[in-house]
Structure 1
Amino acid sequence: MATVTVTMTMIMVILGCSLLLIKGTLGAMNENEVIHIGGKVMCQDCSQGWNDWVQGSNPIKGSTVSVTCLDERKRVVCYKSDKTDEDGEFSMVMEKMVHGKKLNPKNCIVRLVSSPDPSCNVATNFAQGKTGVKLRQPSVVYRDITKYRLGPFYYTTPACACSDDDISQ
């Protein structure tokens, strides 16, 4: 009887330690240990009249947006990407700790990667989508939650594209 009690006690201790280990491993995704990045990707057609051009953008489903984070020595320490949903929305969650070091959001750049729409696949630099926008000021800081809301970023039609040389002249 005493042997059964000792065995049960040992099983309970091992089970408890295992649960603590699992909790510690999963704890990295607590809200206070992640950064939320979100925004929208739209298509803007320059062939429309001024009002339609300004107000008539459409969301692009399946567009890819990426975030690249660098360390103090300008080395890439984190890269993530996400595809937009039917509303053109993207949402990424990144851990604040990468390889045992705290990630500095100001060293992260979010940019457009690709558009699946062949009629609207030329990246523009509205809201710095083409060159990339640095995470500066969070849109939401509530308790331990940090969120960045960016964009909207825009693609345009190939007919509206101009080269960088055309802009500089």
Structure 2
Amino acid sequence: MAMKMVLGIMVASLLVNCFSISEAWKDEPKKIHVGGKVLCQDCTGDWNDWVQGSKPIKGCRVSVTCMDDRGRVMHYASDETDEQGDFDMIVDKNINGKELKPELCSVRLVSSPDNVCNLLTDFAGGRSGVKLTRPSHIFRDLVKYTLGPFFFTTPMCDEPDTTGY
């Protein structure tokens, strides 16, 4: 009898906790954060410099483009990187009365202010764009997608196009 009572209390407690968790998800965050880092990758040094010697670029432009279900642009925004090469954009999930779907958003490199390190690379998808697939952080009212690092490189490191015309 005592075992049934203990088991009943445990089940009731579990159900109450599950209910409160599901109630918390009803109030979904109204914004998503999109962040990452942009670096300069210089191939002129040795292998260790190439792998570990990347330097952040201040003032790089990174964009986020979100489409609707019909393939039309629903939202576009861009941000500049800070001294550490970091960017952080905040996107409203409700735009003109329509629900934005993060999986229909893409983040890509746009430009670099660096006179030498200004060629887009597709390392980590920076040139072609990266879809927002899975948040890196979910906590209370924060949903954040962390991408990259994205890289620019120098003309000396750019691979020539050998595919022809």
TM range (shorter): 0.7 to 0.9
CA deviation vs aligned residue, 1:89-139 (integer Å, no higher than 9, x gap): 001001000110110000000000000001000010110000000000000
Does residue 46 in structure 1 map to residue 60 in structure 2? Answer: no
| Identical residues among aligned pairs (%) | 58
Tell me how far 1:43 sits from its aligned partner: 0.1
Q: Which residue of 2 aligns with 1:116?
A: 113
Structure 2 CA distance for aligned equivalents of residues 121 and 64 of structure 1 = 11
> C-alpha offsets along residues 34-74 of structure 1, whole Å, 9 cap, x if unaligned?
00000000000011100110000000000000000000011
Alpha-carbon offset, residue 144 of structure 1: 2.8
User: In the alignment, does 2:165 pair up with 1:166?
Assistant: no
User: Which letter maps to 1:144?
Assistant: D
The amino acid across from 2:44 in the alignment is S
The letter for the 2-side match of 1:120 is C
2:144 maps to what in 1?
Answer: 147
Looking at structure 2, the residues matched to 146 and 54 of structure 1 have their Cα atoms a distance apart, in angstroms, of: 30
Partner of residue 3, structure 2: none
Secondary structure of the 1:93 match is strand
Gaps of 5+ in 1: 1-30
Once the two structures are superposed, the pairs formed by residues 6-25 of structure 1 within 5 Å of their partners are: none
Equivalent position amino acid for 2:158 in 1: A
For 1:118 and 1:45, how far apart are their aligned partners in 2?
13
Pairing 1:72-83 to 2, within 5 Å after superposition:
72-83=69-80
| SS in structure 2 of the partner of residue 86 of structure 1 | coil
1:37 aligns with 2:34: yes
Aligned residues: 138
Counterpart residue number, 2:128: 131
Query: Unpaired runs of 5+ in structure 2?
Result: 1-27
What value does the CA root-mean-square deviation take over the aligned residues? 1.7
TM-score, normalised on structure 2? Answer: 0.80
Partner Cα separation in structure 1 for residue 37 and residue 104 of structure 2: 21
Deviation at 1:167, TM superposition (A): 7.2
What's the secondary structure of 1:52's corresponding residue?
helix
Question: What displacement does 1:162 show?
Answer: 1.9
TM-score normalised per structure 1: 0.78
Q: Structure 2 CA distance, aligned partners of 1:167 and 1:41?
A: 28
Q: Which residue of 2 aligns with 1:4?
A: none
The structure that is helix-richer by fraction is: 1
